[in-house]
A and B are shown apart, each in its own frame.
Chain A
Amino acid sequence: MRDLRTEEMTLNMGPQHPSTHGVLRLKLRTDGEVVTSIEPILGYLHRCFEKHAENLEYPGVVPFVDRCDYLASMNNDHGYAMAVEQLLGIEVPERVEYIRVIFAELQRIASHLVAFGTFGLDVGAFTPFLYAFREREKILDLFEMTCGARLLYNYIWVGGLSHDIPPGFVEKAYEFLEYFEPKIKEYNDLLTNNKIFIERTADVGVLPADVAINYGVTGPQLRASGVDWDLRRDEPYSIYDRFDWNVVTGVEDMGVLGDCWNRYYVKILEMQESARIIRQALDRLPVDGDVQAAVPRKIRPPEGALYFRSENPRGELGYYIVSDGGTKPFRVKMRSPALSNLGVIDEIGAGWLVADVVAILGSLDIVLGEIDR
């Protein structure tokens, strides 16, 4: 009998696909359902962030920073504001620092909730997604009562904040924590410890620590591989060194380190740690202080350049800002964590089935707004 000719099939996943988390296109080469190589094709959401930034005054860049990682706008604002403050050499009041940390951590919880929910969707569980959005809604309500916006805040300004927290915010925030912390057990019951979920995610798409470091993978994705590295602790910025919390790393409960289950579970535990930080920050929040006291009237940093990095929900968010002494930055380069995290997909996704590629992509927790900028 004549041998049958076989060849690999190129499968185009996205940019319109339910599980690419935005307008990402993956070019898969498949042998049956086994994926032999993955090539991410980017740029469908490119909005010229860096060019825009060169043509705007320093405070004007903040709304654009919001739009990069639209699930973690507060963290982006926070990083950018701190970078420019360092460039200017100004200190911000205590109260501002506390409020910033509270909002950054609330945003981290909100972002991880989306990651948790959409990861459930990726492996076919619909219900966790709605549970996650139910909780996220309460966080967005807190943001809304403070600055009026629910997605793109422009809240953390260089030198301060756009608004002080409104009366009743602290009580509502405590209320949220009381409500939220027991919910994590519910997530674990529903998804984390589900046998099918474990089968789908444990030992799948294993990212060894050395590969993760080589590719510049950061954030929960790196910690899931067992690397104990968190900028909030190891290179403390803002006032993170004042709180008592733990850096979460992967565990070998269900599978090996660095598998999809670990990348997922680290985020669940990080929500708990963020809640701890928020609680402490609320306890110690200074009562008085003008949140706009340190906001400069004209931002004109001295000539020079600076790289500042902070821990975004997705990893290490870096800003490289070059100042020529004018009111507009000469250059703003953003190191987006999701882009580096996505880079590893071919390394860890090749050899798995199409369904696993969806799970691996979901566990990397990418946001296309930030990848394409």
Chain B
Amino acid sequence: MQGLTHFFQHIGISSAFWSFFIATIIYGVFVFTFLALFALVAVYLERKVSGHMQDRLGPMRVGWHGLLQTVADTLKLLAKEDIIPRNADRLLFVLAPVVLFLGTYMVFAALPFGPGIIGSDLNVGLFYIIAVSSLVVIGIIMAGYSSNNKWSLYGGMRSAAQIISYEIPVGLSLIIGVMMSSSLHIGQMVQAQATGLWGLGGIFGWNFIQNPFAFIALFVYVVAGTAEANRTPFDLPEAESELVAGAFTEYSGMRWAFFFLAEYANMWVVGVLGAVVFLGGWNSPIPGDVYVPGFVWLFAKAFGIVFLQIWARWTFPRLRVDQLMVTSWKYLTPIAFFNLVGVGFWLLLI
């Protein structure tokens, strides 16, 4: 985005504030468009992947192999009647999808799309992302509370407990990447993985392969990240066979679409963060000079993790709420702590 700001200054908008302002809006629109497009692609992918896993074809009617199915669905959601239950807390009900989406959307300010393609190149980028993404839980609690529906309330309460519990293993695992790259700056973290400790380059520079602890941390991260994104087997806040649609039961039309968009955006955030912290960001896995644009690698890695989440969703049953807590507090968090200490010693001694 700095580039954009400079561009506007260059073409004659002298005020630094205005060129920044215009650049921000353009970048914001770009991110939103990207999110919408990503959701379209991811929903299509989810349907096709699940379809083929389940011995069926998935959408086939709208467009070539159902390519336009999600577009049609989006149009349907846009055209749907906006329903607010009579006894709902109107203000919170309307605000909840906004807050939830905001939590995800703000993350994108510091989330890279490729080398240099980043909204705000913060020196504490990773810290900012972890902090801001916690806002999501407030949105879900608001949705659960304001709907005035007992099932929604359960969903909201579950999600509060779940997201707070799983932020800890996610955070601890990401800290391992920070320790290894000695930076919270996303660009520098990726840069540090270009050569790595062995100086071989390519995949050998990536964090997850540097030591066994980081390797385990990647798994902890993906599992806990799936839980953070409320995906099966951790989709308890919506748990359709138990809570109907959990916190989102009373939502329909565009408001519901925002929850949906936020879910997929969260998957993408989990994917990109995993790629940046453990999988070398936009570095090529092949050592040497193979020129492929950096964002291609980043997208490939992020989509890899997104695919993993989709795969898990259509394979596993759902955990129960107490088992969810046990998984986090008795397994993932201790393992993450153990990793943290292990990486510390590793970096100190080797």
Contact = CB atoms under 8 A, between A and B. Distances in A.
Interface of A: 9, 11-12, 17-19, 33, 120-127, 130-131, 134, 190-191, 194, 196-197, 199-200, 353-356, 358
Interface residues of B, number: 28
Contact of B241 (A12, A121, A130): A121
Nearest to B320: A355
B240 A18 contact: yes
Contacts of A9: 150
Contacts of B56: 130
A19 B317 contact: no
B150 A353 contact: no
A355 B317 contact: no
A356 B241 contact: no
B323 A130 contact: no
Contacts of B239: 124, 355
Contacts of B313: 126
Contacts of A18: 240-241, 244
A200 B241 contact: no
Main DSSP-derived SS at the A contact region: helix
Nearest to B323: A199
Contacts of A199: 319-320, 323
Contacts of A196: 233, 316-319, 323
B53 interface: yes
30 contacts: A18-B240, A19-B241, A120-B317, A124-B232, A124-B233, A124-B235, A124-B317, A126-B50, A126-B313, A127-B50, A127-B314, A130-B54, A131-B55, A134-B55, A190-B315, A191-B317, A194-B316, A196-B233, A196-B316, A196-B319, A199-B319, A200-B317, A200-B319, A200-B320, A353-B322, A354-B242, A354-B243, A355-B242, A355-B318, A355-B320
Nearest to A359: B320
B54 A131 contact: yes
A197 B317 CA distance: 6
**Of A120, A126, A130, A191, most B-chain CB atoms within 10 Å:** A126
A19 B151 CA distance: 13
B242 A125 contact: no
Contact of A124 (B53, B151, B318): B318
B282 interface: no
Contacts of B233: 124, 196
B321 A353 contact: yes
A200 B54 CA distance: 22
B54 A125 contact: no
A37 to B, nearest CB: 16
Contacts of B319: 196, 199-200
B105 interface: no
A123 B50 CA distance: 18
B154 interface: yes
A167 B153 CA distance: 58
Interface in B265-298: none
B241 A124 contact: yes
Contacts of A19: 241-242
Contact of B150 (A11, A124, A197): A11
A130 B55 contact: yes
B54 A127 contact: yes
Contacts of B241: 18-19, 121-124, 358
